[in-house]
Amino acid sequence: MDKVVLLIDGQRVEVERGTTILAAAKQIGIKIPTLCNHPDLDVKGMCRVCVVEIKGSRKLECACSTLAENGMEVITSNQRIFKARRLNVELILSSHPTDCLNCIKNQHCELQTLAADLGIRESRFLHITKQGCVDHSSIALNIDSSKCIACGRCVYICNEVQQVGALAFFDRSSSIYASSAPSLFYSPCIKCGQCTSYCPTGAIFEEEHTEEVWRALNDPEIIVVSQIAPAVRVAIGEEFGLEAGRGITKKIYTALRLLGVDYVFDTNFGADLTIVEEASEFVKRFTQQKEKLPLITSCCPSWVDYLEKFSPDMTEHISTAKSPHQMLGVMVKTYWAEKMNIDKKKIFMLSVMPCTAKKYEILRCYDMFASGQQDVDVTLTTRELARMFKQAGIDLLRLPDSEADTPLGIYSGAGVIFGATGGVMEAALRSAYEFITGQNLDKVDFTSVRGLKGVKEAEIKINSQIVKVAVAHGIGNAREVLEKVRKEKEKGNLAYHFIEVMACPGGCVGGGGQPYGGMKVRDMRAQALYQEDRELPVRKSHQNPYIQKLYEEFLGEPLSEKAHKLLHTRYYRRPLYGGDKFSCPDKERLKVSKG
C-alpha cells in the first residue's frame, strides 16, 4: 500500500492512500467533531460539521469525505472553522425540538454531546420545529420524525446493510425526514432495530414496555420470572460505566432480585434446549432427509420475519425449533409450573433481550401460546432494563454476585456463545458431532465460524462425511448466502448443509436493543462471551445435567411429540406490507401493550 504524507495543523502525518482527513487527524490525537459520519457506515458529507480548511481550496471541505493526498496542508481549527461548525449545529438545533429532558436519548444523544462539545450557548435563529407525529404503529419501534436530522444513517443501514428497504427519505428541503411509508406497520420492516442503534438523536427508538413490568413487579399476586439473554450480560455494564467486553452475569441476577423478580432463570438454558432440538433436527435431516437440507437456524426473529416476507420459498429449510427465550418461556409455564405447583396464569414471564424484534416474536403466531398462556409476557431490551435499574437506584457494578435459580438457570458454555455471530453454529456442531458419531468431541472450539467476516464458510468433517456450513450476520450477507443456495439448487447441488443467520451485524451482541456502540464494541462483547464459554465446566448443551433431567422427567427425548408441541413452531408466507398483522389469538393484548 502506498503512503501519502500530509500536514495537519503543521504536524507531518503519514497515512495509507485512501485514508480520510478525519482518520489521519485521529492518528495524531486531533478529534474533529462529526455528526452524520459513523465508522461502520458509509454516510458522509451531510451534516457539514467536520469541516476543515485545505490550502488551495476556496471553501471548507468535509474531513469525513475528503481523502488525504500528498502534500496537502490541512488546518483543523481556526476562527473560520469554529464559526462554520457552530453555525451548522445551531442551524440543526433551530429545527430540532430540543426537549432533551423528555427524550429517550437523553445523555446518549450525539447531537446533544456535539452541542455541548462546541459550547453552543444561545440560539440566534427562530426555533421552528418540523411538523410530524410519532409513528407508533410498529410493535417494536417508533419513529419521531420531528427529531430527525436527516443524516441518513438509518436509511443507509436499512437499505444497504440490511437491504430491507423499510426506511427512506421523504419530502425535501427543510421538511425532509427519514421514515417509512405510510407507517412502519405497513412496511417490510423486520424490526431488527439497527436503525435505533445508529440514529444519532431520538428519532427512531424502541417501544418501551417497562411500565407493564413495574406493574407486575408491584403486584403481590403475580410471580415474576425473568430470563436474560447471553448478549445482555456482556453489554449492560456499559450503561453503568463499565468498559466494553466485561460480563457481569451474576451481578445482573442480584439486581433482578432487588427489582423484585421472584425467580431468576437464564435464557442460556433455553439456548441449550434449542441446541439439543435443533442439532437433533439437523442430524435427522442429515442422515435421513437429505432433500430438506440445508437447515437454517431460526433463533433470530428478525431473520425469521425476513424469510417469511422476502423469501417464503426457503421456509421449508428453516429449523422449526423455537428461539431460546420462547423455549424457556414455555418450559416455565408448563414443566416448572407443574413441578412447583404454581398456577401458570399467575406467572409473569419477563425476558430481557438485546433485541427489538423479540417484542414482535412473543406474539408472532399461535405457537407462541403453546402453554395455553402467552409463553413470554413481556420482552425488554437491554437498554430498557438498564433504565429500570437506574430508576430503582440500583448501582449494578457494586452489587454482590448471586447465582441463578435451578433448574432453568443452569447452562453450558454452548448456550453462552449464542449471543455472537457463529455461536449458534458452533454450539450446534458440538452436539451434532456427538449425536452423529456417538463419540466424545475433545476439541470443542470451531474457530473458523467465529469473527466479524460477513459470510463465514467452513467444512467440518464428521464421520468421514463433510458438513458444509455457512454463517452470515447482517441481512445483506444472509441474502448472498440464500442466493448461492438457490443457484446451486438449480444445478441440483447442495451449497451448504447448515446455515446460521443473525440479522444484526455482529450477532445478538450488536442487537438493536443493546447499549449504543459500533462494530468495535460489538466484537469486544463477543470476546467476553467466548471467555465465559472457556471458563465453564460443561461446554456442550446436551451434557447440561438439567437439560438431561428435563428430558427424563418431562419431554421424553429430542423431537418427541411433546417436544414438537411445545418447542417447535411453523412458518407462514406473509405479505411484505403489513405482514405482522397475522392471526394473533390475543389481539386485545396487542393493543394494550401498545398503550
Partner 1 sequence: MKIILRNIEDKNYQGTVKEYISKGGYKALKKALAQKPEKIIEEIKRSGLRGRGGAAFPTGIKWEAVYKAEGFPKIIVANADEGEPGTFKDKVILERDPHLLLEAMIIAAFATGASEGFIYLRGEYFKAYQCLAAAIEEARKERFLGKNILGKEFNFSLLVYCGAGSYECGEETALLESLEGKKGRARLKPPFPTQAGFKNKPTLVNNVETFALVPAIILKGADWFRGIGARESCGTKLYCVSGDVKAPGVYELPMNVSLRELVYKYAKGVEGNLKAVIVGGPSGCFWGESDLDIRMDYKSIEARGGILGSGAVVVLNDKRCIVDAVMNCVNFFRHESCGACVPCREGTKNAWYLMQQIKEKKATPYFFSLVSDLFEVMRDTSRCGLGQVALNSLVSAIEMFPREFKEHIEKKKCRCNICF
Sites of contact with partner 1 (CB under 8 A) = 44-49, 51, 59-60, 62, 65, 80, 83-84, 87-88, 91-92, 94-95, 124-126, 128, 149-150, 169, 171-176
Minimum distance from CB of 36 to partner 1 (Å)? 9
| Closer residue to partner 1, CB minimum distance, 152 or 188 | 152
Report the alpha-carbon angle 152-158-163, nearest 5: 135
| Closer residue to partner 1, CB minimum distance, 48 or 473 | 48
| Closer residue to partner 1, CB minimum distance, 124 or 398 | 124
| Closer residue to partner 1, CB minimum distance, 159 or 210 | 159
Interatomic CA distance for residues 424 and 427, integer angstroms: 5
Minimum distance from CB of 175 to partner 1 (Å)? 8
Cell triple for 557:
427425548
Interatomic CA distance for residues 260 and 239, integer angstroms: 21
Minimum distance from CB of 333 to partner 1 (Å)? 49
Minimum distance from CB of 68 to partner 1 (Å)? 13
| Closer residue to partner 1, CB minimum distance, 88 or 268 | 88
* Cβ proximity of 114 and 33 under 8 Å: yes
Minimum distance from CB of 46 to partner 1 (Å)? 6
Minimum distance from CB of 127 to partner 1 (Å)? 10
Minimum distance from CB of 1 to partner 1 (Å)? 20
Closest CA to 261 of 310, 304, 228, 294: 228
Q: Cα dihedral angle (300, 302, 305, 307), rounded to 10 degrees?
A: -70
| Closer residue to partner 1, CB minimum distance, 114 or 362 | 114
Helix or strand (DSSP H, E) at 506: none
Interatomic CA distance for residues 298 and 275, integer angstroms: 11
| Closer residue to partner 1, CB minimum distance, 54 or 429 | 54
* Cβ proximity of 198 and 154 under 8 Å: yes
Minimum distance from CB of 479 to partner 1 (Å)? 20
Minimum distance from CB of 88 to partner 1 (Å)? 5
107: which residues sit within 8 A by CB, 6+ positions away? Answer: none
How far apart are the two ends of the chain, measured CA to CA in Å?
57
223: which residues sit within 8 A by CB, 6+ positions away? Answer: 262, 263, 342, 346, 347, 348
Interatomic CA distance for residues 304 and 302, integer angstroms: 5
Minimum distance from CB of 69 to partner 1 (Å)? 11
| Closer residue to partner 1, CB minimum distance, 128 or 466 | 128
Closest CA to 167 of 140, 190, 139: 190
Cell triple for 354:
438485546
Interatomic CA distance for residues 567 and 558, integer angstroms: 10
| Closer residue to partner 1, CB minimum distance, 119 or 220 | 119
DSSP annotation string for 207-275:
PP-HHHHHHHHT-TT-EEEEEE-HHHHTTGGGGGTPPSS---HHHHHHHHHHHT-SEEEEHHHHHHHHH
Please give the radius of gyration of the chain, using alpha carbons only, rounded to the nearest integer: 25
| Closer residue to partner 1, CB minimum distance, 47 or 481 | 47
